[in-house]
Structure 1
């Protein structure tokens, strides 16, 4: 494989964290005195770039330190029993590393939660760079974290491929000038998205 960087979104792409994300948001809401929201309602809006998630979930203008603290508190206490990798992801990461690709994560999750998740799932060592929401001025759909990964690994956009599961990922990739592949085994469904990890493997290898 020629020099290649494969960047993955985390939640909904690598990790099935739907239960944990919904429960963590409802945990924050409970600390704020609000009633819980249905899991389906939350997951439909997690990747919706047209809304202000702080307003929708927490009735706030923007996320603040309390929101992060309580979200991370739930994540820390529950990720080991609620998070799983999607079937075939570990094998895909193993294969890409064997073929010499550089791997990275670009996620709108907070860094502490991200590191806890990837470490618990046994794939943290696969990644050469990890960029999170609190590492950059603006999260996805802005391209900041993708630029951070490129700079950190000294790679170019035309050497890279970004794998994600929602419009925020797609917009960030376009703004960074990086080729994008959409998958739909996560929180949202897309008519022209990749449906299986085996199909994604073939796409990545065909572009190597």
Structure 2
């Protein structure tokens, strides 16, 4: 059986870094507490948004205000500032045509992840979405990956998780799936290797080849 493939969204399938950083900057304009730098915010990409905002806010009301400001900018500029990485749509279509079952595993809200997939033309190729609304615990916990495996009906031994952040790698490893780190997103090869990725790739075009290299379990 061909391995199922789980994909992260931001930094893996879509280039949304400018949107993410712009939304964060907008959220913290006029904020009287500690304001994250771009580098600090980049390091938290892959974690649920509200979880990160609560680490800067002094109470839940302040976190909600930051969330509303973040969302306002994000939704206003969403379609203009996200795009699929070059070659991603063609690669995902090739994998689907070859018979690989696929799911999205993201810390983004389910509805927003679905909006992004629709905008870049991946919604029909990856119809199964596990976002932060689908789970109680989030990356780097294994629950999102385990949820995706259950929805696809495949064992961990017959699945790969492709992602650009250490949170993806740690979540996949904890769930028992093999992990492919990518370096075209927000994190470096060194960061992905330190997280324990089974393989790290630098080009979208490598995905077809490396997926074929992972052996199908027997027995």
**Which residue of the partner structure matches residue 178 of structure 2?**
179
**Which residue of the partner structure matches residue 111 of structure 1?**
110
Please give the alpha-carbon distance, in whole angstroms, between the structure 2 residues aligned to 1:59 and 1:45.
Answer: 15
Tell me the CA shift for residue 65 of structure 1. 4.7
Q: Is the 8 A contact 1:9 1:165 kept in 2?
A: yes
**Which residue of the partner structure matches residue 196 of structure 2?**
none
Please give the alpha-carbon distance, in whole angstroms, between the structure 1 residues aligned to 2:100 and 2:94.
Answer: 9
Tell me the CA shift for residue 33 of structure 1. 5.7
* CA separation of 1:158 and 1:12: change in aligned 2, threshold 3 A: same
Q: Please say if 1:197 is aligned against 2:196.
A: no
Please give the alpha-carbon distance, in whole angstroms, between the structure 2 residues aligned to 1:28 and 1:123.
Answer: 29
**Which residue of the partner structure matches residue 25 of structure 2?**
26
**Gaps spanning 5+ residues in structure 1: where?**
none
* CA separation of 1:143 and 1:36: change in aligned 2, threshold 3 A: same
**Which residue of the partner structure matches residue 121 of structure 2?**
122
Tell me the CA shift for residue 200 of structure 1. 2.1
Please give the alpha-carbon distance, in whole angstroms, between the structure 2 residues aligned to 1:99 and 1:108.
Answer: 27
Please give the alpha-carbon distance, in whole angstroms, between the structure 2 residues aligned to 1:177 and 1:152.
Answer: 16
Q: Is the 8 A contact 2:46 2:107 kept in 1?
A: no
Output the aligned Cα RMSD. 2.5
Tell me the CA shift for residue 152 of structure 1. 1.2
Question: How far does the alpha carbon of each residue in 1:1-47 deviate from its partner, in whole angstroms, 9 at most, with x for none?
Answer: x3421000111111110001111122222375669755444324435
Please give the alpha-carbon distance, in whole angstroms, between the structure 1 residues aligned to 2:185 and 2:7.
Answer: 13
**Gaps spanning 5+ residues in structure 2: where?**
194-199
